[in-house]
Structure 1
């Protein structure tokens, strides 16, 4: 019993620590990019190519991580991810030009992609009870590090080390070296293998033909596009719609992330209690309604932009919990299928918001800037509403299955619907 408890603690360190470091590695680039651009004299197009290549590396990793974990095991998949991120930090420190910087970033995001899928598979196998609670708590650590990452990165770059500034190279080296820490409990811990159950194993072919899988993809895509778009466009909206200062608008975005992070900390037990599909339906609708109310109530209702974070935060981890229960035999394949398509969908999210704003500004002419901004943000809110609508259909599918079987269909200790 003692050994089992000790092993559980080690695995918690791997998952929670992994999500914490994942948040740091993804969000320290904000204060570093302008300095990199200045040092290497990069054009905006080169910077855009750098970030696009990162996304490519991330998607590439998402596409093969499930197969990799089947080949070498989830333990060594996680260790490979952490190791490649630490190695990327060394290469960044040694970067002397745009090419080596780009290759270093590509390696980092390749490691990030392996880590995201790997942590999802780990969590699905480890947290067989109270899955929604534990996955929301895991993503809380990602949100916690994401809040502090830009401030930490900017501060570290100004540190005086050995008579000179640490700079972006030293900052990346130190932060990404933290990836080594979860390797220690990974080596010591015993990871559960995939539960073998009767019935056909999940495969990409089966997922492509499964309407529930595509419904889950739609739910996650609409929810995450809304989430990412808020982070990308809220400051821009407040600055241009209400003439807010950058500091004031950034403060509202920080409030959004505060509500977002606290939501992941506290709402997990609710998702386990009432069911995943129903939880997503309620929370995404709440987020969409808050965003719409914020747009139409004007500046006096701006706090509703931040409160919307309560509803949008649980979507991603709760969908992961849903996948873990719905596709318990082959969860790695299901997560890979869903997240890969999500990554493709997310690329178009910010593009569509910008296109909508430009479209209305051009059609309506000068003086219509506020209407264009409102139209763009209504689209963001609409994504959350569509997430809720798709969840409602999924909820009905599970309800109908219950009626057909003549009994309550349970996954674990709770009704999934």
Structure 2
């Protein structure tokens, strides 16, 4: 090794460490942002007198911010670089916490959530592009490891959020607004390594990149959109609806319900840590079939068993956890020369599906509640509505499994990577 190489090696290792900090701490912050809403939603619902449909509408309309961010992030990174995109994501999330704290109406709350989802969308695309560029070897394991940090913060987020909401400070209770102010301020931390790291550039020449029009002609591209969409609807819906379900269906306390949500994310996090190497060994698509199917079955069993089977809601987290990172690993490996296009298109389509999914869960819950209330007047309407909404979450996991089977058969016939 010559003297120049000996000088550059420590610099490369230091830069790699900074990039890993951006990825791992970025996913930690992402987990806090996404999964603090479970304990907060009942408080928001009470403060603004919202019904289940309005909660679903809140989550869906504000997902438009996420979708908007997905649509322009790739342009942003091409023109201003990945570093700028990451700093903008973290900055938007931090500012949204301030606005959340100051929200005193449903409209102001919606605007604050919209800004937070803008930051989340930029961060999701940015982290996906960054991990696709730096995790060249053991892609499945490294993708699951990076998403493990999302699960790690998701374990803590519901309990931490629930605890913060009850804290008395300066003769006032922090409630959900103060909780979001503190939680979203954590977004400032990963901005520090992002400022000093040298971000990798896309090595594929502009003329060699696959266009969106060309990519959309591939049937596998649409199948993977279906897999990720149904998988993510099933995953993210738990953060928004499980606490609400347990409090209203089984009269659990907010602390107990938040504890079960944390248990879900314990299973979720452990699965990403343990099952990452499994996806590399048995294949990405086979893994998707097994994991999504097990999650759907566990969720249906939890609903059928009633309150004694509530632990199965948590166990379902182990199945749904590897879906997103495994799909990202598949896109990075199978579309290595067009990963930016593949990832951006897939995640954007997933954003559209998430909007529809939240609307459907809220609508199914409200419609079924009204139906059973009118039919028997026994007071079981709310329970049946919540069960119906959660059955849709289970159905999404099973549809994820079904489409994975279709993709497996398609790729097998074509001789593609499985």
**TM-score bucket of the superposed structures, by smaller chain:** 0.7 to 0.9
1:264 is matched with which residue? 272
How far does the alpha carbon of each residue in 1:134-158 deviate from its partner, in whole angstroms, 9 at most, with x for none? 2212222122222322433344455
Are residues 1:16 and 2:16 paired? no
Matched, 1:385 2:392: no
Q: 1:127 to 1:354 in 2, by over 3 A?
A: same
Which residue is 1:346 aligned to? 354
* Partners of 1:339 and 1:109 in 2: CA distance: 14
- Partner of 1:178 in structure 2? 186
Q: Is the 8 A contact 2:32 2:154 kept in 1?
A: yes
Aligned to 1:217: 225
Query: CA distance change for structure 1 residues 382 and 85 in 2, over 3 Å: closer, same or farther?
Result: closer
Q: Is the 8 A contact 2:60 2:354 kept in 1?
A: no
In structure 2, distance between residues paired with 1:136 and 1:256: 17
Identify the match of residue 252 of structure 2 among 241, 245, 257. 245
1:393 deviates by 2.0
Moved more, 247-256 or 385-394: 247-256
The answer to whether structure 1 residue 125 and structure 2 residue 133 are counterparts is yes
For residues 285-296 of structure 1, what are the structure 2 equivalents within 5 Å? 285-296=293-304
Q: Deviations over 1:169-201 (max 9, x none)?
A: 654444333322212211221222123279952
Q: What TM-score comes out, normalization by structure 1 length?
A: 0.82
Are the aligned partners of 2:94 and 2:188 in contact in 1 as well (CA < 8 Å)? yes
- Gaps of at least 5 residues in structure 1 are 403-408, 410-415
Structure 2: distance between partners of 1:377 and 1:37: 19
CA offset at residue 339 of structure 1?
Answer: 1.7
Q: Do the aligned partners of residues 181 and 228 (structure 1) sit closer, same or farther apart at CA in structure 2, a change above 3 Å counting? A: closer
Of 41, 44, 50, the match for 1:44? 50
Question: Is 1:26 equivalent to 2:39 in the alignment?
Answer: no
What is the rounded CA distance, in whole Å, between the counterparts of 1:352 and 1:184 in structure 2? 39
Per the alignment, in what secondary structure is the counterpart of residue 198 of structure 2? coil
Tell me the secondary structure at the aligned position of residue 13 of structure 1.
Answer: helix
Give the drift of 1:211: 0.7
- Displacement of 1:9 in angstroms is 1.0
Paired with 1:231 and 1:182, the residues of 2 have a C-alpha distance of 23
Change beyond 3 A, Cα 1:166–1:392: closer
Secondary structure, aligned partner of 1:44: coil
Decide which moves more: 13-22 or 230-239. Answer: 230-239
- Aligned pairs for 1:287-326 within 5 A: 287-296=295-304, 301-326=309-334
Distance of aligned partners of 1:375 and 1:70 in 2 relative to their CA distance in 1, 3 Å threshold: same
Higher mean C-alpha displacement, 69-78 vs 387-396: 387-396
Structure 1 residues 251 and 103: alpha-carbon distance in aligned structure 2, compared to 1, 3 A threshold? closer
- Does the 8 Å contact 1:202/1:331 carry over to 2? no
Indicate the larger mover: 91-100 or 225-234: 91-100
Paired residue for 1:401? 414
For 1:115, the equivalent position in structure 2 comes to: 123
Name 2:156's counterpart in structure 1: 148
Contact 1:356 1:372 (C-alpha < 8 Å) held by counterparts: yes
Q: Residues 90, 339 of structure 1: CA spacing in aligned structure 2 closer, same or farther, 3 A cutoff?
A: same
Task: Give the secondary-structure state (helix, strand or coil) at the position aligned to 1:128.
Answer: coil
**Secondary structure of 1:329's match?**
helix
The Cα of 1:49 is off from its aligned counterpart by 6.7
* Structure 2 SS opposite 1:330: helix
Which runs of 5 or more residues in structure 2 are unaligned? Answer: 1-8
* Alpha-carbon distance between aligned partners in 2 of 1:25 and 1:305, rounded to the nearest angstrom: 21
Give the number of aligned pairs.
402
- In 2, are the aligned partners of 1:235 and 1:246 still within 8 Å (CA)? no
Q: Is the 8 A contact 2:143 2:328 kept in 1?
A: yes
Distance 1:114 1:61 in 2: 5
Distance 2:39 2:306 in 1: 31
Name the SS of the counterpart of 2:122 in structure 1: helix
Q: CA deviation at 1:159?
A: 4.9
1:85 deviation in Å?
2.4
Q: How many angstroms does 1:72 deviate by?
A: 1.0
Alignment-derived partner of residue 405 in structure 1: none
Kindly indicate whether the alpha-carbon contact (under 8 Å) linking 2:267 and 2:314 is maintained by their aligned counterparts in 1.
Answer: yes
* 1:400 to partner: Cα distance: 2.5
